[in-house]
Amino acid sequence: MRLISLLQKKSKLFYILLLLLGLINSVWSMGLLLLINSKIAGTALPFVQGYDWQIYVVMILVSFFTARAFQSYTIRLTYELGNDLGLSVFEKLRFSDYEEYVKLGEEKVRTATADVTTLQRFPNVFIETFNSIVMVLIGLTYLFYTNFYGALLILGVLSTLAVVYYIRNMAISKDLNTVRDLANIYQQNVNDFLRGFKDVKMSITRSDNIFLKYISQNRHRVKELTIKTLIKYMGNELMGNYLWYLLIGIIVFLLPVILHMTSVAGNQFVATLLYLMGPVGIVVARISEFTQMQIAVDRLEQFHDKINASKAIAIGHGDLPAAGDKFDSIRFEGVTFEYYDERRAETFRLKPLTLDIKKGESIFITGGNGSGKSTFVNLLTGLYVPHSGTISLNGRVITDRTYPGYRNRIAAIFTDSILFNENYDGLELAPDNERLMFWLRKMELENIVVFDDKKKSIKADLSKGQQKRLALIYVMLEDKDVIVLDEWAAEQDPVFRAYFYKKIIPELKQMGKTVIVVTHDDTYFDCGDRLIKFDYGNIVSDTQVNATGELHLAVGENDVKKSN
């Protein structure tokens, strides 16, 4: 994704229209210079003698309407480009690997959207710069026509100025890249501050450090680097402006002596240089914006590469299961998954897992922190892809193309799941939905929630436990075959926790649902069909619960027995 290709991809007519603008602008610039300088010299224009003012008016009108049409086109192109780039970030992100998203971090997504805002200005800046460059080239051509050696001197000065700008801009580009890196860190600090606001309030040391040592220091560095780069850009502009005055001085005082330039030719040179001051100033001023845009486009390329954007878009929703294809079983066969640090050193490994999950089972997953429960859940729900081994659905190995359909068959409530502000699932959230009202009563939320008829959603000020209950109601309305609940009961009160294990889970089983519950509630381990315990990335026991509530070893090294 290079800068210039952005516009080409967006508009097939872009180069044709750009060429047309360049031709019209060339005719306008050359005609204006000839007309002005002919008046300075007191000579008539060839072929149009006596029609000077009419030609001038026609040129202004043609230039005005051409500029108006092209700038209208540029405005549309600018906002279409911004819209497409902004949507492409989320389009590619929604199809990306969850594992890659976790590594990427939310702050990178936020800064990517900021990069899109930067690039949105590109069409307008590019057209304005192109227009100015055409005017400069026409002006230089006219100067060569007027006095070759004088024009050569001016071209040499301008070329030297361009080289100096390029060298200085390389140093500025490094500072701007640093500012961009600091923006990523800043977003990370802000996320920590906002999401952990309660924790920040609970510690003076934590509050002082996150503000003074991180957020404040970050903003201070950005401020200093930004001031530094702006001063450098200001220096570039001042150098360009005063070099222009130097050129005028050379023309007025030096060229008449060295090249024996007449006063008329000198006046024409000065008039042309004054005419070019505006276009050259625009080109110099736009260098900083092009630098920022180049950094933005480079970072967006890195962003897309990290989320495997091309592969993700190509697969899309993949191969969805045929209508009526019922869930029967999930099988893990030698599945492993590893975590690595920045130095590619392994930090955790989920050892080869082989197990079967059958339709209608209620399976409890337990284990200590860092035992592998969460990794297993991410693998089970299709968010993570095994690094080795296979996962099969109904006897068919899941592939890259079938993972989206596999995930779509599972309803999950994770420990950090949220209730969305909008009804993105398109559920029928209205009082006349009997199934919804049934579950609201069962979850003791009937008199708490409020229906938003406009948004077709439910709004309520709920506790954490009540939010989890409402999330489970949404899961029931989705009516998927497999339900995964990651420590769902942890935030329920003791009465409702018992109700969940002893009443709701059996009812889900009666409905034919396969329920996988991650839990630490050992009091209720006998309420499921199986209890799988993880430790250090391995399944240390897989026990079956009989009709009386006893646990009997199915897989593992140690017998685990527990009775009512």
Phi-psi region for residue 544, left (φ > 0), alpha (ψ -120 to 50) or beta? beta
What pLDDT, on a 0 to 100 scale, did the predictor assign at position 473?
95
> 342 burial class (0-12, 13-18, 19+ CB within 10 angstroms)?
exposed
- Cα–Cα dist 498/521, whole Å: 10
Q: Which amino acid is at 251?
A: I
Residue 359 token pair: 């339709």
Within the chain, which residue ranges are assigned CATH 3.40.50.300? 329-419+462-556
Residues shown for the chain: 564
Residue 209 token pair: 């450090």
- Report pLDDT digits (tens) over 53-63: 777 787 778 77
> 250 burial class (0-12, 13-18, 19+ CB within 10 angstroms)?
middle
What pLDDT, on a 0 to 100 scale, did the predictor assign at position 553?
54
- Cα–Cα dist 477/436, whole Å: 7
DSSP structure string for 72-101: HHHHHHHHHHHHHHHHHHHHHHHTS-HHHH
In DSSP terms, 554 is beta-bridged to none
Q: Is 428 helix (H, G, I), strand (E, B) or coil?
A: coil
Sign of the CA dihedral running 134, 139, 144, 146: positive
- Cα–Cα dist 537/370, whole Å: 8
Phi-psi region for residue 57, left (φ > 0), alpha (ψ -120 to 50) or beta? alpha
Residue 528 token pair: 């499921």
What pLDDT, on a 0 to 100 scale, did the predictor assign at position 45?
61
What pLDDT, on a 0 to 100 scale, did the predictor assign at position 326?
85
What pLDDT, on a 0 to 100 scale, did the predictor assign at position 324?
66
What is the architecture of the domain spanning 329-419+462-556?
A: 3-Layer(aba) Sandwich (3.40)
What pLDDT, on a 0 to 100 scale, did the predictor assign at position 560?
37
For residues 49 and 276, is the Cβ–Cβ distance under 8 A?
no
Instruction: Output the pTM of the full model.
Output: 0.73
Q: Which residues of 291-312 are buried (b: 16+ CB within 10 A; e: fewer)?
A: bbbbbbbbbbeebbeebbbeeb
- Cα–Cα dist 544/553, whole Å: 6
- Report pLDDT digits (tens) over 458-507: 877 889 999 999 999 999 999 999 999 999 999 999 999 999 999 999 99
Beta-sheet strand order (sheet of 329-340): 346-358, 329-340, 388-393, 396-397
DSSP structure string for 152-173: HHHHHHHHHHHHHHHHHHHHHH
In DSSP terms, 355 is beta-bridged to 332
Distance from CA of residue 70 to its chain's centroid? Answer: 30
Q: Which fold has domain 3-314?
A: ABC transporter transmembrane region fold (1.20.1560)
Q: Which residues of the chain have pLDDT under 50?
A: 1, 555-564
Report which of 216, 206, 226, 208 is spatially closest to residue 185, judged by C-alpha positions. Answer: 216
- Cα–Cα dist 108/27, whole Å: 47
For residues 394 and 327, is the Cβ–Cβ distance under 8 A?
yes
Report which of 501, 469, 516, 494 is spatially closest to residue 366, judged by C-alpha positions. Answer: 516
Rg (CA), the chain: 35
